[in-house]
Structure 1
């Protein structure tokens, strides 16, 4: 019988105001499991303390830095961490938030990320459509909803004809396409875009596309939860026009706030539509067009969704239980007591 807590070392540090809510809710759900100790990340914890499982989410964060010197120090510490995991046979569990290596990384960073990949004992996918190597050990644990997270935030009255985008603004999220498509819409409509651009150049591009259309409101900054909820709930339709969409916390945030979404059509999003209700998840193929926006708004007015999206499969209690079982499974895969 285990006489000490089951210790899980996470790869994310003590949460801050800008921390991704997913990892905060995950930490709370895991901590609620009996007999468990969850530790936030520090290099001291990771390298010097004892734990049963190391759980990494975005390994690139461990090997990159704001300056070349900081990056080099982190890379050296990452090598030491990998050596510790290998020598002590500590299972490495990885959640597959992203399937591809990030752009713009160095050869050394790429090499370290490949080492993390090779040392991974168990992969957690957020949907069953995730493609992995045939020999990979994997389990699916779906992304939990945001209903509890946003429960205390004030809602706005829905504005007829309001289209919205919220979240970090990056090239692949394709906000420019949404602005171009919206500008072609006639009539008394409005578009609200909220989120921090990844570069000053991208911010300037978004501003230039919007400057002569007073129906477009830009809030190009990091959004507080209250601001995000305000933008989402004031919208008749939330549009997330990503060039590639595999796991979208933004989609779940909109659905958690009972707002229909328009997102790219793919296998993952078709499954989500079947899960939560087809009238809540509208999809488009190819490029986002003015005609697609106009058609979707018309569909919402003539045949709106009823009730709330069905997010019953995404309760955090279940997510926490499934993570603990995944950690124990990873130890069994390494031939260790669970």
Structure 2
């Protein structure tokens, strides 16, 4: 019997291993997995299409072009019963495209046959912001942990820490790195250091971050134009004691799971799905703050690590095999 064809957009992504891990753990016996191509849409090639980041419908560069894509989706849906699913990483794009388009957003949502969310909070917010999605079948799963590339991480040992804190990931305005750097300069702990590692495509933002850091030798800004290779990033995480996420806005955080997967406690805001993560993994691993990040938050977080008695968080509920089984079962239920 011919397997249904599953188009994944994208099937993998440079600088973000989520899409590749997601695709790889969908059951081979249930679906023939392919990288999605717009040119194959409208001809009945795909049985199911999964979108990860459908920026072209939420912030289209050209609304006319996006309407043409939506017409192709509609044709496949009506003539070939193609199913369309959105993995809700964000409720709307953080950047990219041109301007918000209520028309193309609404039409995209109307064409969906289901949604996959990575936390219960994500589903509640999706229904609040887009009430038309309340009638859609929904899978609530988790953000899978990142698989080690350079070997298993060492256990966290509180007695060996030297307050080496780290921010890593894409550097964007909403991630609040400028504020983090300014507050880090006020931290009076000895020893103490902060490393910022990641890609910044906004020259003005990078300039402001460098100005905020000033001449403080405790702050190391490793800001790049290209992505940090996965192996190098893991070694960087391993070289630090804890990870600080100063975000102003977040729905789900792959960075948080990446850090925890390398046995690093995290400091993050009490927003989005992060309280769910704390509830699952415990307060000794997921430390949350209210409001804007401050030097006091950083100081109290690092001081509290003395009380961390376990070497690693229990991430068994975040294994990719569980996510793959969840997703496979959900996609099959839409047939």
The two structures have a TM-score, normalised by structure 1, of 0.86
Cα offset, 1:100, TM superposition: 3.0
| Candidates 170, 176, 179, aligned match of 2:178 | 176
Gaps of 5+ in 2: none
RMSD: 2.7
> Residue 326 of structure 1: which of 310, 330, 333 is its match?
330
Deviation at 1:163, TM superposition (A): 0.9
Q: 1:117-137 deviations in whole A, cap 9, x for unaligned?
A: 111111111001222234332
Counterpart position of 1:207: 210
Judged with a 3 Å threshold, the aligned counterparts in structure 2 of structure 1 residues 104 and 55 are, in CA distance, closer, same or farther, namely closer
Q: Secondary structure at the match of 1:191?
A: strand
Quick check: 1:117 aligned with 2:137? Answer: no
C-alpha contact (below 8 Å) 2:47/2:83 kept by paired residues: yes
Normalising by structure 2, we get a TM-score of 0.86
1:123-138, aligned counterparts within 5 Å?
123-130=115-122, 131=124, 132=127, 133=131, 134-138=134-138
Contact 1:264–1:284 (CA under 8 A) maintained in structure 2: yes
Q: Which moved more, 1:154-163 or 1:217-226?
A: 154-163
- Would you say 1:24 and 2:31 are equivalent positions? no
Q: Which of 191, 197, 201 is 2:200 aligned to?
A: 197
Deviations 1:161-191 (A, max 9, x none): 2110000000111111211111001233111
Structure 1 gaps of 5+ residues are: 332-338
* Structure 1 counterpart of 2:291, from 279, 286, 290: 286
Q: Of 218, 230, 235, which residue of structure 1 is paired with 2:235? A: 230
Q: Which position in structure 2 is the counterpart of 1:245?
A: 250
1:58 is the counterpart of 2:58: no
CA distance in 2, matches of 1:163, 1:205: 20
The separation in 1 between residues aligned to 2:152 and 2:273, in whole angstroms, is 29
Matched, 1:38 2:67: no
Give the Cα separation in 2 of the matches to 1:265 and 1:86. Answer: 43
Cα separation, 2, equivalents of 1:83 and 1:108: 24
2:154/2:263 contact within 8 Å kept: no
Q: Deviation per CA, 1:10-37, whole angstroms, max 9, x where unpaired? A: 1115x46x2420010111101x442421
Does 1:83 pair with 2:78? no
Residue-pair matches, total: 321
**8 Å contact kept, 1:57–1:97:** yes
Provide the rounded CA distance (Å) in 1 between the counterparts of 2:302 and 2:139: 37
